[in-house]
Structure 1
Amino acid sequence: MLTQFGIYCRKLRLDNGELLKHMATKLGVSSSYLSAVEIGKRNVPHDWLEKITSLYQLSAEEVESLKLSIKNSQPSIKIDLRNTNNQEKDLVIAFAREFKDLNEDDKAKILNILRRNSNGEVKY
């Protein structure tokens, strides 16, 4: 099943009359690798935002849409815990283990807590 990034790329290819193999060549990867990224078996490489923006001369609005599609398509994330204390590590690990079992209300509460800065203002 295509991720949001995969849907974005498919539309981009259709709009430009390209096949998957053409886009893959432009990105310097194999067709199978691009396909794996589009269906979420692989993360979107960090440099693809810039590459796709440049290759297809995307507008500011299109870049924002691409950014959102990349963000919403990542099957996994890495969290750097090198400069964290044990309590912070415990928090991250506990959340990673339990987040799928949280109900929607609890998820919303946690998200609201995390989006607030020390002044009580919403970050985004």
Structure 2
Amino acid sequence: MTPFGEAVRGLRAERGITLKAMACDLQISAAYLSALEHGRKGRPSRALLIQVCEYFGIIWDDAEALERAARLSHPRVVVDTSGLGPRATELANRMARSMRHLSPATVEAMHRLLDAAERPRPGRRRAAAAPVAKPETAEAG
């Protein structure tokens, strides 16, 4: 499941809306909506994201949170380490090999490490970060 899929599923559950009913209302197939929720499809289009926000009446911070979830919901990512040191390349390869075997607690600990690294420190300007992960450009289907 992706962050976007988890969010949409939670919103549907809160409101008692079935996947089939939501898909019908958005004029998309239930199979596609299910694939989005389960991470079998990449992130939703901008137009669909806007439709989902309108469908649930989501605005402001909640809409930004859903948009962020959508941005972080590509189930297959490519990490470009060209130009980085060998340890960065090693880390990317180890992550790719180990991801399926990490415990939820380890995943959360890694999120905390990344969150701390991304926070600007007082008195220091944050340098523009090079893209670390990007979606694959060719999707099947």
TM-score by length of 1: 0.61
Shift in CA distance, 35/62, structure 1 to aligned 2, threshold 3 Å: same
- Structure 2: state its 5+ residue gaps: 96-109, 119-123, 130-141
Identity %: 26
Separation (CA, whole Å) in 2 of partners of 1:38 and 1:96: 31
1:23 is matched with 22
Is 1:34 the equivalent of 2:40?
no
Is 1:121 aligned with 2:114?
no
Give the SS at the match of 1:6: helix
2:44, 2:70 within 8 Å by CA — same for their partners in 1?
no
Q: CA offset at residue 25 of structure 1?
A: 1.5
Tell me: CA distance 1:25–1:77, structure 2 relative to 1, closer, same or farther (3 Å). farther
Q: Which residue number in structure 2 is paired with residue 83 of structure 1?
A: none
Distance 1:35 1:97, change over 3 A: farther
Aligned twin of 1:3: 2
* Alpha-carbon distance between aligned partners in 2 of 1:56 and 1:23, rounded to the nearest angstrom: 10
Q: How many residues align?
A: 104
Q: Which amino acid aligns with 1:121?
A: R
Per the TM alignment, residue 62 of structure 1 is displaced from its structure 2 partner at its CA by 1.1
Q: Which residue of 1 aligns with 2:67?
A: 67
Secondary structure of the equivalent of 2:42?
Answer: coil
Relative distance call for 1:17 and 1:69 in structure 2 (3 A) is same
Q: Distance in 1 between matches of 2:51 and 2:35?
A: 18
* Displacement after TM superposition at 1:100 (Å): 2.9
SS of the residue aligned with 1:13? helix
Which residue number corresponds to residue 94 of structure 2? 101
Query: Which structure carries more relative contact order (alpha carbon 8 Å, separation 6+)?
Result: 2
1:48 aligns with 2:21: no
Tell me if the contact between 2:2 and 2:75 (Cα under 8 Å) persists in the aligned partners: no
Letter paired with 2:54? S
